[in-house]
Structures are given as C-alpha cells and as structure tokens.
Amino acid sequence: MLRSLWASRVPLASWLPRRPLTAGLSASVATPTATPTPFYVKIKSRRRWRNAAIGAGVMYVCWSAYFTRVVLPPFADMVEDEEAQPIFFPLPFTSQVVESRPYKGTDPEWQAYIRIARDRELLMKIRNDMLETVRAAAEANPILRHRCGKEMTVRKHWLDLDFPYRPPPKITRDGLMLSSEGLAYVTNEVDAVTMMRISRALWPEPVALSATSFVTTLFRQNMQNVARFFGFGEDEKPRPAVRPIGAPPPPEELAKLSAMLKRAVEDTKEGQKGDTTATGLYPASQPRPQTQTEARPRPNKTPGEWQDLSGLMNAKDLIPFESVRTSIDAAWRAFRQKLSETWLPLRPQPPGGSVGVSGQVELQSPTSRVMIEVTAFWDPKTRKYDAPTMHMKLRSIRPRQQMPLK
C-alpha cells in the first residue's frame, strides 16, 4: 500500500482536512451574494489626432486655392506691366530712425550755406520775411485782434540762423517688395508724418495721460468728500447757521415778512374793487383766456393703463446728475488741460539743405505788447519758408500802460 502511494506521487498533506477558502474574510465578502467591485479602464482613441490632421490638410488646400486663384492674379497682372510701380508690404514693429550722413565740404548743400552766409542782403531778407510772416499771422488771429487791436508793428526781435551739419534723420521700415523680378525682403524709407500718425493711433500717449489725470482728479475729490462726511476735512463753504425750533426770527427777517404781508393785502383789496378774477387782470365781463396748463386735459388713466406713462420718465431723472456735476466738471477740466499740454501738432521733417530760423518777436499794438516764439526753416531751393514745418507759440501779452488793481 505504501509502495502504491509512493508510486502515485500524491503528497501526503492532501489526505489531511482542508481549510475553507472563506476563512479569515469578512461576512460581506464571504457571502456568495456580495456584488463584485467594477474596474473602469479608459481606452485612448486616436481619432482626435486623425480628425485634426484631416482638418489642417483641408484648410491648407482651400487657402492655397484661394491665394493662387483670387489673390495672386491681380498682382501678377500689375507686375507684368513694365510701367507699373512695385508694391511694398510693410511688416509691423520694424520701423527705426536712421541718422543721415553729415555734409561734406564738396556737397551742394554746404556750398549753398557758404553763399547764404556771405550774402548780407539775403540774410536781411530772410529775417524781414520772418518778421512780416509773424506780424501777418498775429493780425489774422481773431483772439489777438479782439484783445490787442488790428494794427500791430514789430518792436523788437531776436532771431538766430542755424546751418545744420547733416540732413534730417530718415525713418525706415522693413517689408516685402513685389516687383517684376519677384518677391524680395527690403528696407524702404517711409514718410515721417505717416509714421507719426500710425504711432499716435497705436500708442495714444496724450490720451492716456489725460485719462490718468481725469481719474486721479475724480478719485481725489471723492476721497475728500468721504473724509468731509466723517468730519476729517474742512467744508468748502461755511454752512448757514440753523435757527433752533421755537426761537423768534431776527428783526431784519421780521421786517421783510411784514412788508410782504402788507403788499399781499393791498393787492387783494385792489382785486376786489375792480371785480376781477383771482389774478386781478381781467374783469368779469371779459372772458379770461385759458392758459396752457388749464387747456391741457389731465390724463384719466386707470391702474391698468399706468404702464403707458413709463415713457414720461427719463433715465437721467433716476441719477442725481446735479449732485455729481461739480466733480465731473472739475475732472473733465483737468482732462482737457492735460490734453492741450501733451497733444502737440505733428510737424514733418524739414527739407534737406534748409536754414533754420528760431527766436522771439515782440509786436506792439495800441494797447499791449505781444511776445511770440517762432521756429521755421528757409528752403534755398524755393527761396521761401517751409509752411508745414513753421511753428509759432504765444509767449506773453503785456499791457502798455499797467495800472494797479486797487
């Protein structure tokens, strides 16, 4: 028997009593009715990347067809024409100011400076033309003409002539140039005034500074009002004294009240003698004209029709505009003052080879003296002043006969 067991290779431990599989587990787990815990497995799908790749390919094909069939044909026709000008496409944020090369002794501009400096009659003519231009501009100004008079003469002048060492700086911008030879990346010179307008439109610094002044003034006034409400500040205007209840009025007020009462009694007596209406202006035989308030019938509205009267109320009536007008006016005044200080007119670059004229001119009128500051450039090619670059500024106005204020 033992040999048979040994030959079957059955372990002897298998003949011993076995332990149940549910031993040591909780009752909820050991019972066969317990529900198994589900496990969720997220399977990644590659359809999203596939859809994105298909969409990008479709967009590229559509854009290529639109660009080659709609956009390029007009430009190709223009480029094929030999007389057509090349087209420049500027790139953003590529503008820069480039200093010009200084004049040499052999340049025609420097030779013109030498001839002007040696010609005394021409120098006198340049100064006289500037004085006449300033006088004519002052007489044409309506404000100066109303305050100082129509007739003005030149009293004194301080004018300096400057010969620049180099032409005005240039403003360049990078971009794409489309010509008959093809498309090329170039650096092209642009108009200074156009570049200044674009810069002011993109970065309106004067408007930003004015808005900051507006907000600062309005915030300061509101803080002062809050501090004044809690008693930490002083009132702008002294409050009138409040009379206590039951106290007799002062003698001046009593005299005014008695005079008003006596006048009202006399008017009532005169109206009764003339047998007039309540106003005492129309007798009983003459029909009294109907006033505008009496002729207008009063609306007879039921509660259901009251909603029709909602249009008579304006949204402005719901806001205490009169109480905040003072603070808004002061802030708006600060905004306009800051804007007038920072918003300067755009002045283009002067022409190359021009002579700078700067200084002050004092004009005299029958009642006052006017000081004007001027800056201009005289062009030797046209032998005239360049009007776009001329700038005049009022410096002061003084009366000829000054009297004391008291």
Sequential DSSP letters for 316-339: GGGS-HHHHHHHHHHHHHHHHHHH
Q: Is residue 304 part of a domain?
A: no
Looking at the fold, whether 221 and 114 belong to one and the same domain comes out as no
Q: Are 154 and 339 contacting, i.e. CB atoms less than 8 angstroms apart? A: no
- Residue 162 corresponds to which tokens in the numbers above? 């400057």
Looking at the fold, whether 113 and 223 belong to one and the same domain comes out as no
- What's residue 151's pLDDT? 86
- Residue 195 corresponds to which tokens in the numbers above? 């570049």
Q: Is residue 291 part of a domain?
A: no
Q: How many domains does the chain have?
A: 3
Looking at the fold, whether 393 and 351 belong to one and the same domain comes out as yes
Residue position matching structure tokens 């930003």: 208
Strand partners, 162: 356
Q: Is residue 241 part of a domain?
A: no
Looking at the fold, whether 113 and 160 belong to one and the same domain comes out as yes
* DSSP 8-state assignment for residue 276: B
Strand partners, 355: 378
- What's residue 181's pLDDT? 75
Domain that holds residue 136: 108-166+347-399
Q: Is residue 73 part of a domain?
A: yes
Looking at the fold, whether 115 and 159 belong to one and the same domain comes out as yes
Per-residue pLDDT tens digits for 160-185: 999 999 999 999 999 888 777 777 88
Q: Is residue 294 part of a domain?
A: no
Q: Is residue 13 part of a domain?
A: no
Q: Is residue 63 part of a domain?
A: yes
Q: Is residue 371 part of a domain?
A: yes
CATH number for 138:
3.10.450
- The tens place of each residue's pLDDT in the chain, 406 residues long, gives 556 655 556 565 556 565 555 555 555 555 555 567 776 766 666 677 888 889 999 999 998 888 777 777 776 666 666 666 777 888 888 888 899 999 999 999 999 999 999 999 999 999 999 999 999 999 999 988 888 888 899 999 999 999 999 999 999 999 888 777 777 889 988 888 888 888 888 888 999 999 999 999 989 988 888 888 888 766 555 555 555 555 566 677 767 777 777 777 777 666 555 544 444 444 444 455 554 444 445 455 444 444 444 455 555 555 555 666 666 888 889 999 999 888 888 888 899 899 999 999 999 998 899 999 999 999 999 999 999 999 999 999 998 888 887 6
Per-residue pLDDT tens digits for 211-253: 999 999 989 988 888 888 888 766 555 555 555 555 566 677 7
